[in-house]
């Protein structure tokens, strides 16, 4: 009887605290099975191309070499390290390597989130937060640099919030995370911005005798973090690059992920905000003032640009966990023995199973980007023409870069600026038909590569001087050719 009770106790100790691990495994398995969904963004092509260029030249780009409209203009890639990692993964295992890398980053992110919450909340609340976070992020889970930066973001903010919970100062061992984040993705600016409000909360709730010392230590930490963020190949310029994106104004509204939330068509983000508001009213949940400011800020960011739903999904739970745990009850089981031999054996077995499962799935699952963003046959025909000035669809830019064709425009929005982005959108969508012919003339366009169903393609079918040389369900190529007669009636005369 005693031996049975002892073994039962050891089993509970081994299994307790593994919720973060199970969360990570579940996320890894789920998204690995649905891996093609991570390749739906056309920017993946140029991200890998830039990473390969960095590997080939042992340098980071400082000017544009991929477009003919902005060739030679200053351009830096603050995401250079993530691009290199994707390029290495692609070189080693093709699109399978890219998917595995991205899914692993997502799984680690959710495991870190679950671990932080599991230490402060009941298991049921932790599971709800993690599941909600996944639902909120689903639309932006694509193989791009921000996904590789997510674990770093969660670890960094968790470190800051942990200091806030303890009314102390963050460990300076967090600073390498800031340097890593700054080389992975431009979102590190948010990490710097959060130091202020989180520090204020920690100082405000500390004993008055400690507030002055805490203020000085938080200020020192903030300055050290700022310096750490400049440990990149671009130095201070990495800080300024994010401002260029946010200053794009009207152009941002043309990109789906930068659009505001739309409550006319309620999705996971809109429903989460409404349900959270209702629960707060129902349960009477209270928060300290600065935490209210932080959560409100995250909600505002997500509602302003839907791509920021991941900020709300991952960071709001970190801020809410401690006060919420005090109101609804924290974890009921004691701290697990993370170093027990049986626990380590279990973890080793799980890792081996994950690796074996990954190889098994990769052997039967073929990961490929969606064809809608990769007009392979059309580009092959285009390259036979040996042209250098092609007016392309925005979504085709990444694939053109990967194929070595200079673009008119592509996903590097901050490079092209508001004016060209808006003009291109209005021209290709025929919001301003005259603008299409003006751009074709001003930029000496030799051919166009546009979606077959686009308004501009339909118009060029009816204009003399443009010969349709290739067309399929995805893309159509029109070649400027004096004397060419329109291929579809009725004819339209270009201005």
Which pLDDT score, from 0 to 100, does residue 338 have? 52
Band of residue 491 on the pLDDT scale cut at 50, 70, 90: low
Average pLDDT over residues 73-101: 96
Task: Determine phi and psi for 98, rounding to 5 degrees.
Answer: -65, -45
Average pLDDT over residues 141-154: 96
Which pLDDT score, from 0 to 100, does residue 12 have? 43
DSSP readout, 370-433? -GGG--HHHHHHHHHTT-S-EEE-GGGHHHHHHTT--BSS-S-HHHHHHHHHHHHHHHHTTSSH
Average pLDDT over residues 67-78: 95
Average pLDDT over residues 197-209: 93
**Quick one: which of 80, 129, 89 has its CA closest to 109?**
129
**Quick one: which of 471, 439, 435, 437 has its CA closest to 453?**
471
Average pLDDT over residues 455-483: 91
Which pLDDT score, from 0 to 100, does residue 334 have? 42
For residue 91 the two structure tokens come to 């070189």
Contacts of 488 (CB under 8 A, 6+ apart): 458, 461, 462
On average, the pLDDT of the chain sits at 87
Distance CA(29)–CA(34), nearest Å, equals 9
**Quick one: which of 158, 228, 244 has its CA closest to 192?**
228
Which pLDDT score, from 0 to 100, does residue 278 have? 80
- The answer on pLDDT for 4 being more than 50 is no
Contacts of 312 (CB under 8 A, 6+ apart): 136, 269, 272, 298, 299, 301, 302
For residue 431 the two structure tokens come to 């919001």
**Quick one: which of 450, 388, 403 has its CA closest to 68?**
388
Distance CA(300)–CA(306), nearest Å, equals 10
Are the CB atoms for 113 and 51 separated by under 8 Å? no
Q: Higher-confidence residue: 314 or 344?
A: 314
Which pLDDT score, from 0 to 100, does residue 357 have? 77
- The answer on pLDDT for 489 being more than 70 is no
Band of residue 8 on the pLDDT scale cut at 50, 70, 90: very low
Band of residue 451 on the pLDDT scale cut at 50, 70, 90: very high
Which pLDDT score, from 0 to 100, does residue 463 have? 87
Q: Higher-confidence residue: 331 or 134?
A: 134
Which pLDDT score, from 0 to 100, does residue 490 have? 56
Band of residue 259 on the pLDDT scale cut at 50, 70, 90: confident
Lowest average pLDDT, out of 124-128, 186-190, 246-250, 379-383, goes to 246-250
Band of residue 478 on the pLDDT scale cut at 50, 70, 90: very high
What are the C-alpha distances in Å from 427 to residues 179, 220, 398, 450?
Answer: 41, 51, 20, 11
Which pTM was predicted?
0.90
To the nearest whole percent, how much of the chain has pLDDT over 70?
Answer: 90
Average pLDDT over residues 383-400: 94
Average pLDDT over residues 469-487: 86
For residue 344 the two structure tokens come to 């380590």
**Quick one: which of 402, 323, 348 has its CA closest to 121?**
323
Which pLDDT score, from 0 to 100, does residue 340 have? 60
Q: Burial of 323 by CB count in 10 Å (0-12 exposed, 13-18 middle, 19+ buried)?
A: middle
475 secondary structure, DSSP code:
E
Average pLDDT over residues 429-447: 90
Which pLDDT score, from 0 to 100, does residue 121 have? 93
Q: List the 447-451 sheet strands across, edge first.
A: 390-392, 447-451, 475-480, 466-471
What are the C-alpha distances in Å from 478 to residues 71, 378, 387, 388?
Answer: 23, 10, 12, 14
Which pLDDT score, from 0 to 100, does residue 14 have? 44
Average pLDDT over residues 124-133: 94
Contacts of 311 (CB under 8 A, 6+ apart): 190, 298, 301, 302
Average pLDDT over residues 4-27: 66
Reported as a single tens digit per residue, the pLDDT across 300-340 is 999 888 889 999 999 999 999 999 998 887 764 445 445 56
Distance CA(442)–CA(49), nearest Å, equals 29
Are the CB atoms for 464 and 484 separated by under 8 Å? yes
Which pLDDT score, from 0 to 100, does residue 16 have? 52
Which pLDDT score, from 0 to 100, does residue 472 have? 93
For residue 134 the two structure tokens come to 């996944």
Q: Higher-confidence residue: 67 or 33?
A: 67
Q: Burial of 336 by CB count in 10 Å (0-12 exposed, 13-18 middle, 19+ buried)?
A: middle
């Amino acid at each position: 009887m005693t031996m049975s009770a002892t073994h039962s106790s050891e089993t509970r100790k081994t299994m307790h605290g593994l919720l973060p691990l199970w969360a990570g495994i579940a996320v890894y398995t789920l998204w690995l099975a649905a891996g093609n969904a991570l390749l739906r963004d056309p920017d993946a092509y140029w991200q890998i191309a830039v990473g390969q260029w960095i590997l080939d030249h042992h340098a980071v780009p400082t000017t544009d070499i991929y477009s003919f409209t902005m060739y030679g203009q200053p351009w830096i890639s603050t995401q250079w390290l993530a691009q290199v990692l994707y390029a290495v993964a692609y070189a080693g295992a093709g699109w399978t390597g890219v998917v595995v890398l991205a899914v692993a980053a997502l799984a680690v992110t959710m495991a870190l989130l679950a671990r932080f919450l599991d230490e402060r909340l009941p298991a049921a609340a932790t599971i709800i937060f993690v599941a909600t976070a996944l639902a909120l992020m689903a639309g932006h889970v694509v193989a791009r640099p921000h996904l590789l930066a997510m674990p770093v973001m969660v670890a960094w903010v968790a470190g800051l919030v942990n200091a806030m919970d303890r009314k102390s100062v963050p460990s300076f061992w967090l600073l390498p995370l800031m340097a890593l984040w700054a080389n992975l993705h431009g979102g590190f600016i948010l990490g710097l911005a959060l130091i202020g409000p989180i520090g204020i909360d920690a100082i405000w709730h500390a004993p008055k005798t400690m507030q002055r010392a805490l203020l000085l230590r938080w200020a020192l930490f903030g300055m050290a973090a700022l310096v750490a963020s400049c440990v990149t190949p671009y130095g201070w310029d990495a800080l300024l690059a994010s401002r260029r994106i946010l200053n794009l104004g009207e152009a941002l509204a043309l990109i789906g992920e930068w659009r505001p939330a739309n409550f006319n068509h309620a999705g996971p983000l809109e429903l989460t905000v409404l349900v959270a508001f209702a629960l707060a009213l129902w349960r009477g949940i209270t928060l300290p003032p600065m935490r209210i400011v932080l959560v409100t800020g995250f909600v505002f960011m997500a509602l302003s640009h839907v791509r920021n739903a991941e900020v709300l999904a991952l960071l709001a739970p970190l801020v809410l966990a401690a006060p919420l745990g005090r109101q609804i009850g924290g974890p009921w089981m004691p701290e697990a023995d993370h170093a027990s031999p049986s626990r380590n054996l279990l973890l080793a077995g799980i890792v081996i199973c994950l690796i074996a499962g990954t190889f098994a799935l990769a052997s039967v699952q073929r990961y490929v980007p969606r064809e809608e963003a990769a007009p392979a046959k059309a580009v092959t025909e285009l390259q036979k023409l040996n042209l250098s000035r092609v007016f392309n669809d925005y979504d085709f830019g990444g694939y053109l870069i990967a194929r070595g064709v200079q673009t008119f425009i592509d996903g590097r929005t901050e490079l092209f600026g508001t004016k060209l982005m808006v003009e291109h959108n209005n021209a290709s969508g025929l919001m301003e038909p005259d603008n299409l012919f003006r751009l074709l003339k001003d930029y000496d366009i030799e051919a166009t590569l546009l979606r077959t169903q686009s308004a501009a393609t339909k118009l060029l079918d009816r204009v003399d001087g443009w010969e349709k040389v290739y067309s399929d369900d995805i893309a159509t190529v029109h070649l400027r050719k004096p004397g060419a007669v329109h291929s579809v009636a009725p004819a339209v005369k270009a201005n």
